[in-house]
Structure 1
Amino acid sequence: MLDAQQVDEVYRILAREMPGRTRGAKGPKGQPDAFRSCISCMLSAQSFDRNTAKASRALFAQAATPEEMLKLDDRDIAAAIKPCGLYNNKTRSIRRFCEALIGEHGGVVPDTREGLMSLPGIGRKCADIVMSFTFGKDVIAVDTHVHRVCNRIGLTGAKTAEKTAEQLEARSPDWALADGHFWLIQFGKKVCTSRAPKCERCPVARHCEFYGAQLSQGA
């Protein structure tokens, strides 16, 4: 992995080259509150964004609070969220989440990672996304793009997104935490793409372990 000085330099380059948190950046799938952000994040698992959005709209048209959600029949929840796939499993997770949220937190979504992850259906990725977008905490949430970019460059050296998130938290300078997610995800979409990364115009190529390995193989 890159050393601390290199990590700092990579972030400073990305801060100059990428737009960061854009005006109007919203919580998971654009939901207006922490409860619906959590539910939408749960629905997004193994689902395209458009399907998650369709499922979320249909579900929240029927229930927008944990109390209202628990009044719905499982068949109604499953029918509403069917577009996002795995709807039976997600229906069970939603019900367990709502029961725990009411029983353990009085229906109020906690604003800490520990509190969020104590709830059924909420893993590290979802917790960090809700913390960053909904509660405005300085957290680098790790999605597919961020996981790929960080391990390709050498910011982290992890096989799973959860381990990547742990390493990023430990290795990232404090000043980069607020916008780090945005720089990395934008970089992953525009430059460090999954297939055919654009190394020839990459601003951090001189620090990138992947690019260095490619040069060594070609030498």
Structure 2
Amino acid sequence: MTKDEIAEFFRLLAERTPNPETELDYVNDYTLLVAVVLSAQATDAGVNKATKALFEEVRTPQAMVALGEAKLRHHIRTIGLFNTKAKNVIALSEALIAKHGGAVPADRDALMKLPGVGRKTANVVMNTAFGAETFAVDTHIFRVSNRTGLAPGKDVLAVERKLEKRVPQPYRLGAHHWLILHGRYVCKARRPECWRCVVRHICRYKAKTPPPGTGPAPRASRGHGQAKE
């Protein structure tokens, strides 16, 4: 996409969703961090269901350590990889207490040193909790960036770096959420709903899908369908 097209792309997404937010439920910076860690290879809806009772009882790393790994496993047992995630949440809670006075650090490198916290998780926390202009590239953002021609890249880091260079103000803070929501509800993996996409005239994806009942859809390409820039 050209510079002008990218600005129009985000203008239209912002017009559709003026105040984009994460769909994970949380009550403070710490519970946000925990929710994002738990969301790896799980849906936000699934995480919210598992953490509803948990976050009524636990809202600080001290309370999480006091709860213990066994009881945490019971709370999150419906989430994939819950055994490993429970160990990581207890370990990161202990690290927050020992190294950061129980507070979530507003620093990406410090976050990435916590057990179970990778670059994507750190970027989400930095953006949502601290208002940093970071781009947490998950499968939705990776797909949308490649399919539309917004920021094509062979891996998540390449896409993140292109987004950092290309996304203009005043859209940088909300871009992460707009792209996730667009990928989750419109630009879906198996069958993108191009007929109701507000940026379809800008998108570089060739196999655009017609409205239901109007004939066979073009065969979608496998993978993320990387487009030309």
Q: Same fold (TM over 0.5)?
A: yes
How far does residue 100 in structure 1 lie from its aligned partner after superposition? Answer: 1.5
In structure 2, what is the equivalent of residue 128 of structure 1? Answer: 123
Q: How does 1:1-150 map to 2 (within 5 A)?
A: 2-16=1-15, 18-22=16-20, 25=21, 29-150=24-145
Determine helix, strand or coil for the equivalent of 1:207.
Answer: coil
How far does residue 177 in structure 1 lie from its aligned partner after superposition? Answer: 0.6
8 Å contact from structure 2 (residues 64, 90) kept in 1: yes
Identity of aligned residues (%): 36
- Please, what is the CA RMSD of the aligned residues? 2.8
- Greater CA deviation, 86-95 or 193-202? 193-202
TM-score normalised per structure 2: 0.78
- Greater CA deviation, 37-46 or 193-202? 193-202
8 Å contact from structure 1 (residues 154, 209) kept in 2: yes
How far does residue 93 in structure 1 lie from its aligned partner after superposition? Answer: 0.6
Distance, in Å, in 1 between the alignment partners of 2:186 and 2:74 is 39
Question: Structure 1's 182 and 50: CA in aligned 2 closer, same or farther, altered over 3 A?
Answer: closer
Question: Structure 1's 70 and 167: CA in aligned 2 closer, same or farther, altered over 3 A?
Answer: same
CA-to-partner distance for each residue in 1:157-181, whole Å, 9 max, x for gaps? 2233343223211221132112223
8 Å contact from structure 1 (residues 140, 168) kept in 2: yes
CA-to-partner distance for each residue in 1:190-217, whole Å, 9 max, x for gaps? 5422233233554433432322899xx9
Amino acid at match of 1:10: F
What 5-or-longer segments of structure 2 have no aligned partner? 210-217, 219-229
TM-score normalised per structure 1: 0.81
How far does residue 41 in structure 1 lie from its aligned partner after superposition? Answer: 0.9
Distance, in Å, in 1 between the alignment partners of 2:23 and 2:118 is 14
Q: Does 1:168 align with 2:163?
A: yes
Aligned residue pairs, count: 211
